[in-house]
Amino acid sequence: MKKLIKYLALILIVIIGFFVFNNTSESIKIDKQLSAKVSVQQAKEEQPILIERFSDKVTKKVCKKLDLLLKRINKRHDFHGALLVAKKGKILYNNQVGYKDFRKKELLDENSVFQLASVSKQFTAAAIMILYERNQIKLTDTVNKYFPNFPYKDVTIKNLLNHTAGLPKYFWVAEHKWNQKKAPSNSEMMALLEKSNVQRFFKPGRNFDYSNTGYFVLASIVEKVSGMSFGSFVSKNIFEPLNMNDSYVYSFENDSIGANQLEGYCLYRKWRHRKINNTINDAIVGDKNVYSTSEDLFKWTVGLNSEKLFSKESLALMYTKGETDYGKKVPYGFGFRIKTDKEKKIYHHGKWNGFRTGLTQYIEDDLVVIVLEHTSYEGIAALNKRVKNIVSKNFNL
């Protein structure tokens, strides 16, 4: 009997050992798989952005055409800015024309830093998606979750991202309700909205209405959730990982002017370039006030599309048209305008205080066109078309 008990106990120990070993092995296997996945993702994030360029030999013809185009619009249309063109992820043209300082007669160069105006919105959207992937926010969260006294109820983060929130224009609120000389910051403007008693345009989700207000509110949410200034968050989580060394957020009266930072101009009496002064709306960030160079913007495009900031699923949300509560599609994703009819492109233009900007990805052509200008040039859309035509006719790789 004792031998039988010992025998059964031995069998039980073997069985238990077998299951423990199997479970441990399976756990180790899963842990290794997870570790490998994390390692791959970390390696992907840490790998620096490499800027590739086509050789001078293969771009000679197209560059000559683009040089002539820049000289022509500089002379005829007072274009003073930068143009970068990339095909299949490689730069084929990057040049500047005109002055950065008209009094000193200093010429623009590759280090000149431009205000991006509304092209800045895509960085605000990306900051939101970073928080979303970290499970720190939900796209269905309302603004009131973070700012309980926000007077416009039921506005979600997603409403803000694709301009279906119906919020009033903060420019008007600042110009009519702000009674201090110093331009308001984001937090001060949020407080002003709470007590200004300005009506919204429509209930959230009803319509599409392009809104600078929505994007300054998004930047304010980034600050509230992260505990950092918007500029610091974007610098740490976007500019630094993508090696965008000449890019930053600049708030008038709150930040120091950066090296090579340009000022905006307008043409006065058709011959004199006059600097455009800052306004009461120039301390607000999120809807504008990212400063960058053409090459840094290309790094941004490469880094974003290669999933260095977040997953392809989050990127797909940014690149997908929004819709109203009634199912009507709107021509805007998260920080990008989306066009899918005659030519498929993801793009944004900007216009602020003399700066005119454009970042366009032509999907079917695998072409990126970046235009940065600082003397109130009005032909960004037409210039894009001309550049696209020149490349298609003179560059066949």
pLDDT for 98-141, tens place per residue?
999 999 999 999 999 999 999 999 999 999 999 999 999 999 99
List CB contacts of 85: < 8 A, sequence separation 6 or more.
66, 91, 92, 93, 94, 367, 368, 369, 370, 387, 391
Residue 283 phi/psi, 5° resolution? -95, -10
Tell me which H or E stretch contains 40.
Answer: helix 2-46
Tell me how far apart the 2 most distant CA atoms of the chain are, in Å: 114
Return the ∠ at Cα 317 (arms to 131 and 371), rounded to 5°.
95
Provide the pLDDT for residue 24: 45
The angle formed by the CA atoms of residues 305, 311 and 313, to the nearest 5 degrees, is 95
In angstroms, how far is the first alpha carbon of the chain from the final one?
86
Could you give the CA distance from residue 368 to residue 384 in angstroms, rounded to a whole number?
Answer: 10
Residues 27 and 85 both lie in one domain: no
**Beta-carbon contacts of residue 244 (< 8 Å; ≥ 6 apart):** 238, 292, 296, 299, 300
Please report the DSSP string for 157-181 in residue order. HHHHHTT-S-PPPHHHHHHHH--SS
Q: Where are the alpha helices (DSSP H) in 274-322?
A: 294-305, 312-318
Q: Are residues 2 and 112 in the same domain?
A: no
pLDDT of residue 334: 98
Lateral strand order in the sheet of 81-87: 52-53, 90-97, 81-87, 367-373, 355-362, 345-352, 337-339
Cα 345 to the chain's mean position, in Å?
A: 16
97 and 15 co-located in one domain: no
Amino acid at 33: Q
List pLDDT tens digits, range 185-210. 999 999 999 999 999 999 999 999 99
Q: Rounded to 5 degrees, what are φ and ψ at 328?
A: -80, 125
- Read off the CATH number of the domain in which 201 is found: 3.40.710.10
Domain boundary among 47, 63, 78: 47
Residues 25, 152 share a domain:
no
Position 361 scores a pLDDT of 98
pLDDT, residue 1, reads: 52
252 and 191 fall within a common domain: yes
All residue ranges of the chain with pLDDT < 50 are: 2, 4, 14-16, 18-21, 24-41, 43
Residues 83, 188 within the same domain: yes
Helix, strand counts (H, E) of the chain? 11, 16
Same domain for 108 and 188?
A: yes
Q: Does residue 382 share a domain with residue 271?
A: yes
- Where is 275: in which H helix or E strand? strand 272-275
Read off the tokens for 358.
């454009």
How far is the C-alpha of 222 from the C-alpha of 239, rounded, in Å?
16
The pLDDT score that the predictor gives to residue 16 is: 47
Same-domain check for residues 61 and 40 = no
How far apart CA 32 and CA 87 sit, in angstroms, is 39
Interatomic CA distance for residues 130 and 138, integer angstroms: 11
48/39 Cα distance (integer angstroms)? 16
Q: How many domains does the chain have?
A: 2
The answer on 274 and 167 residing in a single domain is: yes
Look-up: residue for tokens 């619009």? 73
Task: Based on the fold, state whether residues 377 and 253 are members of the same structural domain.
Answer: yes
Q: Which residue has the tokens 């939101």?
A: 128
User: pLDDT tens digits for 244-266?
Assistant: 999 999 998 888 888 899 999 99
In terms of residue numbers, what domain contains 291?
55-394
- Burial (0-12, 13-18, 19+ Cβ within 10 Å), 316: exposed
What is the pLDDT at residue 9?
53
CB 164 within 8 A of CB 322: yes
Distance between CA atoms of 301 and 61, rounded to whole angstroms? 25
Domain identity same for 163 and 123: yes
> d(Cα 353, Cα 118) in Å, to the nearest integer?
11
